[in-house]
Amino acid sequence: MPDQQIVIHVNGSPISVPAGCTLSAALLMASAPCRISTTGQPRTALCGMGICLECRAIVNGVPHTRTCQTVCQEGMRVETQS
Amino acid sequence: MKPADVLVIGAGPAGLAAATAASRNGCRVAVLDDNPAAGGQIWRADITRPHQEDAARAAAIAAFHTSGAALLPGRRIVDVPSPSTLLAEAGGHFETYRWDRLILTTGARERFLPFPGWTLPGVFGAGGLQALVKGGYPVAGKRIVVAGTGPLLLAVAAHLREYGASIVTVAEQASTLQMLPFAASLLRSPGKLLQGAGYRRTLGATPYQTGCWPISGQGDEKLRSVTLTNGRRTWTVECDLLACGFHLVPNTELAQLLGCTLQGSFVQVDSQQQTPVAGIYCAGEPTGIAGVDAAQVEGEIAGLAAADCDPLPTRLLARRAKEAAFSRRLTHAFRLRPEVLKLASQETIVCRCEDVTFGQLQTRSNWTDAKLHTRCGMGPCQGRICGAATEALFGWQPTSVRAPLFPIPVAAFCDESSSLNAPSAR
């Protein structure tokens, strides 16, 4: 694993992840869904490459951010999107 | 406006080869990609093993950088404002790129077929889970079922095992009989044969079950078990994750928006990899699912052709012909059995963006009818996932492609530089 760890906030809770980690991977580590579907189901990343859009979440206040194509930055705040 | 003689869309194996060839032959070349780094999907960088480079990837990227071509990552093409420009979105702002020659190397995505439980957290695409693991998701100690179809399954299973996952089984829907000619033909491609043998070695005693497919996933908030069948017997295995994909479908949306015609599901190209639209070339998976070796050779041909190199080296043309034959055997070996098209129950969600069920779609007559009455295909993925599924399940052909190609912030419509706010916007 890379030496450097950084801290991000998933639904308000801090979590330490390796530098360079994609945000969708960090959400999985935190057992947090990326989004809640139109009928209320929790969803996590499916395709892993920014095509299916199941990975979208609220990142630093910006909704619909594709977490599979976003690299974690120190202090980043991500929330499950509903 | 940022000038570039040759613009390449996609920095995977085909795009890197195309850009390198065009740049070496005097063109000014820029490559746009929507990912944060070069490599595409198959050569996606692994953040947990930065020093363990794939040799082919390292060589291709080194050659690319030496050639002088520019890489512009994190950019997603959303529109075609005029016949010789593209509009890209990058982190919320917009850029216009002009081109003299355009090379489309937009790759492929996994085909997903709906079955009960496929929307549960813990269920991923096969390549999808591999991408997440390369992005830092740890799978050590996790029990994983790998299922679906295609050569990717074995590669993914071997990769996950290297990361300490316990592979419960690899369930390949194609029968041994169906795959036999493909397996035999690998003897003519020693590189591919060795690669396959390597995966098998890594997997050790892990079962690789052919003629076997998943029929459901169980769990409340997340996956707990997967039920598999071989058509005669049905059994359930406990697991933490399911990595499931049914081979690949090409990404042709941008080509279609540019007016390139399709031949079947693929972008039509001539011997120079040129599409029927003047100045636009296409290489790699959008022209036929054939894998990384084909992508590289087609990309090189497209790059040379875009740089007006004539005649093209015969060794390249011969290699392309060999890879085309491999592609045909691949398609034949991993064709879908009818049973995997009948896995969805009435309640199974087919369109994940809009939560449209199989039952709702069953009564619709075509793609447009389904869209109008159920919103299937009208969510953020714009039918990229459910379109391939409904094509396989119902034979529906997706209709026209429209801009923006991907969802973009509403602010884009207020941006004066954006073509999307023009009165003539599609």
The answer to whether residue A46 neighbours chain B at the CB level (below 8 Å) is: yes
Give yes or no for a contact between B312 and B304, defined as CB atoms under 8 angstroms apart.
yes
Non-local CB neighbours of B100 within 8 Å, separated by 6+ positions: B5, B6, B84, B279
- Asked if A39 lies within 8 A of B355 by C-beta distance, the reply is yes
Kindly provide the ipTM of the predicted complex, given to two decimals: 0.97
Q: Answer whether A24 touches B (CB < 8 Å).
A: yes
Fold of B112-246: FAD/NAD(P)-binding domain (3.50.50)
Chain B residues closer than 8 Å to A52 by CB: 112, 125, 352, 381, 384-385
CA distance B183 to B181: 5
Number of A–B residue contacts, CB under 8 Å:
118
For domain A5-79, is the CATH number 3.10.20.30? yes
Name the residue type at position B126: A
**Per-residue confidence at B415, pLDDT binned at 50, 70, 90?**
low
- The nearest CA of chain A is from the CA of B123 a distance in Å of 7
Residue among A18, A47, A56 whose CB faces B110 most closely: A47
pLDDT score of B417 more than 80: no
Task: Kindly report the number of other CB atoms within 10 A of residue B362's CB atom.
Answer: 13
Q: What is the pLDDT of residue B2?
A: 46
The answer to whether A25 contacts chain B (CB < 8 Å) is: yes
- What pLDDT is stored for residue B425 in this prediction? 42
Is residue A26's pLDDT more than 70? yes
Query: In which residue are the tokens 């997340």 written?
Result: B222
CA angle B21, B25, B30 (to 5 degrees): 60
Chain B nearest CA to A3, separation (Å): 10
What is residue B424's predicted lDDT score, i.e. its pLDDT?
A: 46
User: What single-letter amino acid sits at A18?
Assistant: P
Taking the Cβ of residue B36 and every Cβ of chain A, the question of whether any pair is shorter than 8 Å is answered with yes
* Angle at CA of residue B287, ends B285 and B293, nearest 5°: 45
Q: Which of B36, B48, B132 sits opposite A1 (nearest CB)?
A: B48
pLDDT digits (tens, 9 = 90+) for B179-200: 888 888 888 888 888 888 888 8
The rounded distance, in Å, linking the Cα atoms of B173 and B145 is: 13
Task: Give domain limits for chain A.
Answer: 5-79
**What single-letter amino acid sits at B315?**
R
Over residues B369-387, mean pLDDT = 95
CB atoms within 10 A of CB A4: 9
Residues of B in contact with A26 (CB under 8 A): 136
3-state secondary structure chain A: CCCCEEEEEECCEEEEEECCCEHHHHHHHCCCCCEECCCCCEECCCCCCCCCCCCEEEECCEEEEEHHHCECCCCCEEECEC
Contact with chain A for residue B115, Cβ under 8 A = no
What distance, in Å, lies between the first and last C-alpha atoms of chain B? Answer: 22
Residue B355 contacts A, CB cutoff 8 Å:
yes
Quote the CA–CA distance of B161 and B139 in Å, as a whole number. Answer: 9
pLDDT of residue A29: 97
Residues B241 and B138: their CA atoms lie apart, in Å, by 12
Percentage of chain B lying above the pLDDT 70 cut: 95
Residue B414, φ and ψ in degrees, nearest 5: -95, -10
The answer to whether residue B381 neighbours chain A at the CB level (below 8 Å) is yes
| Superfamily name with CATH number, domain B6-109+249-312 | FAD/NAD(P)-binding domain (3.50.50.60)
